[in-house]
């Protein structure tokens, strides 16, 4: 079983060529969680496929000049996104970041709803005034990311505290990157959660780079979860490309936070396989590092699990990919045909009349 514990480490953070204690996390054979049924495994795999297809579609739209604003790929992050979101109960609150498309789908968000928001069309949840995942769907308890990285952590803590005051048995889950974990709001938020015993699970998506800054110039501790000991939280650092390990670790953390109120810091070590956004050619990342991580592609790893456990055949997986691609293309055609909002919509709800 994946443990939720923190032990102080001595050493240095990841170097630019990717060699560090993080390398010890990777195992050729992925973790098998006793907490999952085969039916749940198939759902997780489907959401990972759906997330990858969405990413590929948005990259195509960007290259065609039809995307709105930045396109922030989560390729390489599907296991962390889907695995962590799958650990939540329906009534738990989800505060995703910009590389968590798979988590949105896991929480039940509709494809066209996502596309309307990402393409800033009239009728979207942001009324066409913003793109990407900057929206809130209160019914699904999805509260989209704030661009100022770190700012969602105090918001999630506040939600968890309010739910506790109302007597709700609710856990809040939110995310931050390795770079955003160096902001003041990270420290203030997780410290407040620990002191107030607010049931929060904070996922650090350590994808090796904060834009173009590698881990080695971001922090001096060996692992970011080492900080949990100082805050009085539980903590763990895990392979973020192993979806069942992510699920089980997060599930344990969620249920522990629910019953004890003790927050958790889960550091998921992944690799950002595209630039910070699609305008970034990520030429600062060593090619050999990308080649190493390409062999750990979380979707390919879990596809092999599906085949090894005879949960899907190759033809079934190919059919799923085609179905998802066809659905994506049809949805894009529908959404692109929608108008942009009227210019005056940009001022509505900003100032008090």
Measured distance CA(213)–CA(121) in Å, rounded: 34
Is the pLDDT at 16 greater than 50? The verdict is no
pTM of the model: 0.92
Do you know the residue count of the chain? 353
| Averaged pLDDT of the chain | 91
pLDDT bin (cut points 50, 70, 90) of residue 102 is very high
pLDDT at position 219 over 50: yes
Q: Using one digit for the tens of pLDDT, what is the confidence trace for 305-345?
A: 999 999 999 999 999 999 999 999 999 999 999 998 888 88
Q: Which two tokens stand for residue 239?
A: 């392979």
> Which of these, 207, 150, 276, 230, lies nearest to 22 by C-alpha position?
207
- CA-to-CA distance for 302 and 317, rounded, in angstroms? 12
- Contact between 177 and 215 under an 8 Å Cβ cutoff? The reply is no
For residue 328 the two structure tokens come to 């994506």
Which CA distances in Å does 169 have to 91, 164, 198, 258, 300? 8, 7, 11, 7, 36
Please give the C-alpha separations between residue 186 and each of 21, 75, 152, 223, 230, in angstroms, as whole numbers: 23, 25, 9, 15, 13
pLDDT given at position 147 = 79
Q: Helix (H, G, I), strand (E, B), or coil: what is residue 182?
A: helix
pLDDT category of residue 1 using cuts at 50, 70 and 90: very low
What is the band of 199 on the pLDDT scale with cuts at 50, 70, 90?
very high
258 closest CA partner among 8, 32, 89: 89
CA–CA dist 316, 325 (Å, integer): 14
Closest CA to 136 of 157, 163, 156, 121: 156
- What is the per-residue pLDDT across 234-271, written as a single tens digit (0 to 9) for each? 999 999 999 999 999 999 999 999 999 999 999 999 99
Instruction: Give the C-alpha distances (Å, rounded to integers) separating 290 from 55, 60, 296.
Output: 18, 21, 10
Burial class (CB in 10 A: 0-12, 13-18, 19+), 225: buried
Q: Which domains does the chain have, with CATH numbers?
A: 21-28+37-334 (3.40.50.970)
Angle between helices 184-196 and 152-165 (to 10 degrees): 10
């Amino acid at each position: 079983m994946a443990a939720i514990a923190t032990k102080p480490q001595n050493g240095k953070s990841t170097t630019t060529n990717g060699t560090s204690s993080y390398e010890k996390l990777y195992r050729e054979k992925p973790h098998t969680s006793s907490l999952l049924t085969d039916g749940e495994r198939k759902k997780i795999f489907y959401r990972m496929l759906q997330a990858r297809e969405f990413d590929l579609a948005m990259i195509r739209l960007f290259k065609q000049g039809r995307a709105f604003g930045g396109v922030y790929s989560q390729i390489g992050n599907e296991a962390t996104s889907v695995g962590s979101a799958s650990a939540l109960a329906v009534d738990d609150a989800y505060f995703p970041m910009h590389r968590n498309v798979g988590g949105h789908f896991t929480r039940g968000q509709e494809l066209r709803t996502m596309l309307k928001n990402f393409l800033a069309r009239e009728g979207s949840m942001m009324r066409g005034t913003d793109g990407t995942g900057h929206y809130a769907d209160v019914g699904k308890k999805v509260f989209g990311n704030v661009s100022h990285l770190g700012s969602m952590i105090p918001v999630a803590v506040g939600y968890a505290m309010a739910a506790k005051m109302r007597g709700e048995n609710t856990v809040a889950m939110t995310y931050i990157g390795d770079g955003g974990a160096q902001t003041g709001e990270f420290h203030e938020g997780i410290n407040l959660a620990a002191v107030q015993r607010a049931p929060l699970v904070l996922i650090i998506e350590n994808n090796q780079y904060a834009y173009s800054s590698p881990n080695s110039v971001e922090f001096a501790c060996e692992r970011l979860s080492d900080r949990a000991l100082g805050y009085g939280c539980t903590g763990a650092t895990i392979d973020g490309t192993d979806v069942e390990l992510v699920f089980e670790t997060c599930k344990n953390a969620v249920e522990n936070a629910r019953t004890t109120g003790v927050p958790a810091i889960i550091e998921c070590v992944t690799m950002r396989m595209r630039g910070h956004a699609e305008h970034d050619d990520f030429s600062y990342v060593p090619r050999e590092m990308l080649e190493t991580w390409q062999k750990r592609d979380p979707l390919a790893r879990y596809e092999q699990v599906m085949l090894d456990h005879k949960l899907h055949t190759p033809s079934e997986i190919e059919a799923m990919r085609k179905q998802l691609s066809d659905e994506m293309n049809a949805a894009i055609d529908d959404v692109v045909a929608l108008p942009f909002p009227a210019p005056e919509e940009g001022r509505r709800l900003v100032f008090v009349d």
